[in-house]
Amino acid sequence: MPDPLYNWLTSRGAGVLLHPTSLPGDTGIGTLGHWARRFVDFLADVGMKYWQVCPLGPTGFGDSPYQCFSAFAGNPYLIDLDDLKNEGLLEEADLEPLRALPTGYVDYGAQWELRWNILQKASDKFLAIEEGQTHDAFHQFQQNNSDWLESYVLFMAVKGQFGHRSWQEWPRSYRKHRTLIKRADKTEPGLAHAFYQFKFFQQWAALKSYANQRGISIFGDIPIFVAMDSADVWRHPSLFQMDPELRPTGVAGVPPDYFAADGQLWGNPLYAWERHEIDDYAWWCARLRKAFELYDVVRIDHFRGFEEYCRIPPDAKNARQYTWEPGPALKLFEAVRRRFPDAKLVAEDLGIITDSVRRLMQQVGLPGMKVLQFAFEGATEYLPHSTIPYSVLYPGTHDNDTSWGWFRIQPDHVKQFFREYLRTDAEDVPWEMIRAGYASTSRIFIAPLQDFLGLGSDARMNTPGQAVGNWRWRFASEQLDRVWAERGEQLKQFARLYQR
């Protein structure tokens, strides 16, 4: 087999998986402000090298970061409003409704009702300011991002005009992007959405710079598919499997597996890969270019879909009826390699993986993922002594229960194997998992913050196949302070002992 396209993962490191929405703060949701920087300080102080996040795009129904209104835009919920207050764009009184929200979880309904009005106030004040250096930066941002920003702000403005319904429910004349002549980025709603993106990317760039200066790399994530109700599909329907009436002819998902007995019916539109190939996968490369601006390392979710993808009838009620169809395979990644020879990509290769998918991973040269919970349940190739060095190891991911939650519902034979393998009494399961991960052969080990905090199932981030009630978990500042004080030296020792 010829040399792989990539071979970037050569050193060991550890990190934490935490989506920014879970950070502390007093506006009802974690943001990119003070507490994000304090979390970076924690990572740097205890010898970590990575902060892994979920996708950062604007979320819709279900609040999932894997179902966003755009593959390019940022989530305005993450904008730190105190930062806007310090800039003179908001008053403390503007933030009082958000200050009254619970701090222990994200109430997305309240965010929807309250936060947009506050962001609108900040936008109105910003746009009313006389032209100057700040406005020059805003105009430069619009110009630099026009390839996706113009269609996104038009999409969001029209969505607001029609009660935020899916674009497939808009009046017929609005469903086709090319028929809309009005430039929404020049109207008040369009300018507001452009402002939100300007502030998101400005704040994210500052946070990423702060992390990088402290030796922390941002480990990002992009879903393989985009949401049906997104500016991407509305703007480029020819790149997806759609009929002349702009209805999907097949949708994405996965067959029944470990996570869901009926499979997972994601409902995302499928790519018309033959059309992507015509222009050398330009849309995908543009998407990755934006991802490489945001992140130092990029995980691609559901890598197997590039080799073959699960096609489900558009009217299906679950994912039990499906066919496997060929993906672009190596051709896409050769196009990516030509444009991004130094890219740091990771493949999410969990689930049922075929020999052909393994061959593609070897050809591309991407590190895959291993999960310790699966190892103790019987997937022995994920055990710490079995994992290949060129991989990323987790106790569990955002789709798994916490380590304590997982252990407490395991049958006796799994618990016994766990005790024997790790030579432990299982009195502190999360930390036994963390130490085993640090000691493993995998070059990157990443654990969810919930495991560092020793939390149970009530802190689970996401349950696959469950449409609502996910992505709500947040931690309190004193929880981080406690683990920092009580376990900080131990983590530094792990980093030294296991050369991370």
What amino acid positions are annotated as catalytic residues? 301, 348, 399
SS3 79: coil
Residue 262 one-letter amino acid? D
d(C-alpha 367, C-alpha 80), whole Å: 34
Give the DSSP letter of residue 61. T
The answer for residues whose C-beta is within 8 angstroms of residue 24's C-beta and 6 or more apart is 30, 35, 103, 474, 475, 476, 477, 480
DSSP 3-state of 399: coil
Cα-to-chain-centroid distance, residue 44: 22
First to last CA, the chain: 31
H helices of 29-107, where?
A: 34-45, 81-86, 92-99
**Are β-strands 391-394 and 368-371 bridged in parallel, bridged antiparallel, or unpaired?**
parallel
Rounded to whole angstroms, how far apart are CA atoms 212 and 297? 12
Cβ neighbours of residue 305 closer than 8 Å, sequence gap 6 or more: 224, 225, 252, 327
Q: What share of the chain is helix, strand, coil (3-state, %, to 5)?
A: 45, 10, 40
Contact 187, 262 (CB under 8 A): no
Closest CA to 82 of 134, 22, 34, 149: 34
DSSP string, 225-270: S--SSSHHHHH-GGGB-B-TTS-BSSEEEE-S-SS-TT-EEEEEEP
Read off the DSSP letter of residue 271.
B
Residue type, 120: Q
Q: Pseudo-torsion of CA 458, 257, 247, 174, nearest 10°? A: 20
What are the residues facing 325 on neighbouring strands?
A: 309
DSSP 278-343: HTTSHHHHHHHHHHHHH-SEEEES-THHHHEEEEB-TT-SSSSS-EEEE--THHHHHHHHHH-TT-
DSSP 3-state assignment of 100?
A: coil
Nearest one of 16, 42, 106 to 445, comparing CA atoms: 16
